[in-house]
A and B are shown apart, each in its own frame.
Chain A
């Protein structure tokens, strides 16, 4: 153990300049986190620079640390010295804990306290954030350093890998990734968790292999495979992600209590004006009825429609964004159908069925819109009311466990904030907070006391099927006379 401290002391003496830069940037970033919550977008340039330089400084520190006893090559003095590998690894871990993990924990704690949130009830969230940071920001960089000879190749490989994977993804799935990243956000914690698990497992394997056998070529291949696997986990199909999400349901509910059927509105809701502007799709609108127990709200997360024509022609997308709108108690399902399929089969009966994924939310307490001084909202975090020149409510949370829905005179009004209701914080970044913003209805500025916020907690994640039978698609086209 004393030799672990001995190696640690040597590294600390050698790397104090790099460590000092990192710690200074970390402190500046923590200060900016509270001063300019959205520094990347609207903060002053020096703070933007801090946000960019911080991960670079961290990576430089980690690579320099591993390269103190470089594993690639055959000329290093330490290879012929009786320095036990376990103690060497122990010293590196100690250094990372002391100079990276611990300062990060302290800075995150300071940010949380400054945001008005309690410190100790959040200990499990801090632990989760440390794990994600270690899995995504520390281990892969350390593994990269373990298979590279010096800083330049390590940085080059890192940049080349990111560029190559981005280019390949854009080539293979043009537009799809951007669409999914933009729309399928509620399940992003699953993708990030899987990617983090892949990165952590692969990186640990690379580090073990390098520190035990110095098998450079094998380790490099393993690291490349790890990066590809992590990238692939970001492309997990929605159905697989939802299957995982359903296993995370806080409560068990009886699926029979939740039913979807064709509504009585003859199809379209004439009040709706939504139509797609996409040349490749046609917007259809179905009046539907959703039956569920009282005191809960169903929030559609994903949609898998299937349309089959008698000719055998079919339209079956892997995933589509479900848009369910409710106006005066009547719900409608909005679907963008492939225009080519629509043109081929719009005047013949088409069997239309599929599944919809729902988050079942329990209607919780109704709270007033927070004032300018802010209030701690249970299961959300610290929320501050809209300033005079804005209609936005801001909430800071380490782990939001509920949605906030603006309600005017007992009726939902406007969109809720799209918080990701993950079972644990999955951020691998430096900030411990998720900043959530949403707009209050205009009525708030006239009759503030009529506007309330409904806190809705998820109780289950379910998948329900629907079957509209044989229908004529043309009857449901938005804008159809």
Chain B
């Protein structure tokens, strides 16, 4: 098995609205996989199906080799789950919450729990309902790391958190999650870019691409062409060039299949009159925006 988490031809409808439509995902073992997509794309639904919180309309999922519909207590002792919209028992104090969860995990490491509580500066005697949003996410993460899970699934963990808390969460997560497969859905692309190894983009109920961040960064380029006079629009435009924008003597587009030799040659063939060609690397955020605006699969 080369993947720790997988979804195959997954479908899900809410009433008559399709949310997932042939969703396919393979998260390699040991990877940090970022699931991205615009609001309402179905990221949370996909994750809840993976966690057996929702039932799929069709298709199947696997988490650590187990069919997600049969995820039971045994499997859940190896999976951590943190979600921004998870309802926690607000009446419990942090200490009581951790103490309550402890007996359900055979591999719960109390020393690690203490380390996490100290690292996240969690007040053990304070009720969860009285914690700030950031502290609540830290408590959720601490309670999901203390048993050294083999897989951690995080659903929008950084939403609404300030930069400092985000850094603390990421630091805590990465420091304690060696050899752990992490699936994270997030809008915070700048943060994800700093630690994700793989990325997938969900749109229209299915993944538009899924690959390593290195590969993705390698094939996306923002191309700027400069001309002596305003360029004429070519008759045919390659489908892998997105977001065409012309302004005066310049033309800009996104190349989604960049190759150091092929791409300049193709541009020369299309625009022989171009005086200058610039191909700049893109951030994940820029790639995400370009894809979201184009709405095309690449």
Chain A positions within 8 Å of B, measured between CB atoms, are: 2-3, 6, 10, 14, 68, 73-77, 79-84
Contact = CB atoms under 8 A, between A and B. Distances in A.
Contact of A77 (B48, B79, B89): B89
B45 to A, nearest CB: 9
A83 B105 CA distance: 9
A76 B73 contact: no
A79 B51 contact: yes
Contacts of A68: 89
A80 B51 contact: yes
Interface string B140-159: 10000000000000000000
A124 to B, nearest CB: 39
Contact of B101 (A14, A79, A81): A81
B104 A82 contact: yes
A83 B48 contact: no
Given A14-B91, A83-B73, A77 B86 contact: yes
B89 A81 contact: no
Interface of B: 48, 51-54, 72-77, 79, 81, 83, 85-89, 91, 100-101, 103-105, 140
Contacts of A6: 100, 103
A74 B79 CA distance: 17
B88 A77 contact: yes
Contacts of B91: 14
Contact of B73 (A14, A73, A77, A84): A84
Contacts of B51: 79-80
Nearest to A86: B73
Given A80-B76, A82-B76, 19 more contacts: A3-B104, A6-B100, A6-B103, A10-B100, A73-B87, A75-B85, A76-B87, A77-B88, A77-B89, A79-B51, A79-B53, A80-B51, A80-B81, A81-B76, A82-B72, A82-B74, A82-B75, A82-B104, A83-B104
Nearest to A69: B89
A77 B87 contact: yes
B274 to A, nearest CB: 53
Contacts of B54: 74
A409 B86 CA distance: 80
27 contacts: A2-B103, A3-B103, A3-B104, A6-B100, A14-B91, A68-B89, A74-B54, A75-B83, A75-B86, A75-B87, A76-B86, A77-B86, A77-B88, A77-B89, A79-B51, A79-B52, A79-B53, A80-B51, A80-B76, A80-B79, A80-B81, A80-B86, A81-B104, A82-B73, A82-B75, A82-B77, A84-B72
A79 B79 CA distance: 12
A82 B104 CA distance: 6
Nearest 7 A/B pairs, CB to CB:
A82-B73, A82-B76, A80-B81, A75-B87, A82-B77, A84-B73, A74-B53
A285 B48 CA distance: 75
Nearest to B81: A80
A84 B105 CA distance: 11
B157 to A, nearest CB: 14
Contacts of B77: 82
Nearest to B89: A77
A209 to B, nearest CB: 14
Contacts of A84: 72-73
Which of A14, A76, A81: most chain B CB closer than 10 A?
Answer: A81
A77 to B, nearest CB: 5
Contacts of B88: 77
A11 to B, nearest CB: 11
Contacts of A10: 100
Given A6-B100, A75-B87, A77-B87, A82 B105 contact: yes
A75 B156 CA distance: 14
Nearest to A79: B53
A73 B52 CA distance: 13
Contacts of A80: 51, 53, 76, 79, 81, 86
Contact of B48 (A2, A3, A14, A74): A74
A76 B74 CA distance: 19
B15 to A, nearest CB: 12
B10 to A, nearest CB: 16
B78 to A, nearest CB: 9
A75 B85 CA distance: 7
Contacts of A74: 48, 53-54
A311 B76 CA distance: 78
A381 B285 CA distance: 83
A232 B101 CA distance: 45
Contacts of B100: 6, 10
B265 to A, nearest CB: 51
Nearest to A78: B89
Which of A68, A73, A74: most chain B CB closer than 10 A?
Answer: A74
Nearest to A75: B87
A90 B104 CA distance: 15
Contacts of A3: 103-104
Contacts of B81: 80
A76 B105 CA distance: 18
A123 to B, nearest CB: 37
A73 B87 CA distance: 10
A306 to B, nearest CB: 56
A469 to B, nearest CB: 69
Contacts of B52: 79
Nearest to A83: B104
Nearest to B85: A75
Contacts of B85: 75
Nearest to B106: A82
Contacts of A81: 76, 101, 104
Contacts of B53: 74, 79-80
Contacts of B75: 82
A278 to B, nearest CB: 55
A74 B91 CA distance: 19
A2 B103 CA distance: 9
Contacts of A14: 91
Nearest to B144: A80
A76 B83 CA distance: 10
B62 to A, nearest CB: 16
B110 to A, nearest CB: 16
A76 B51 CA distance: 12
A83 B48 CA distance: 17
Contacts of A75: 83, 85-87
A216 to B, nearest CB: 11
A7 to B, nearest CB: 8
Contacts of A76: 86-87
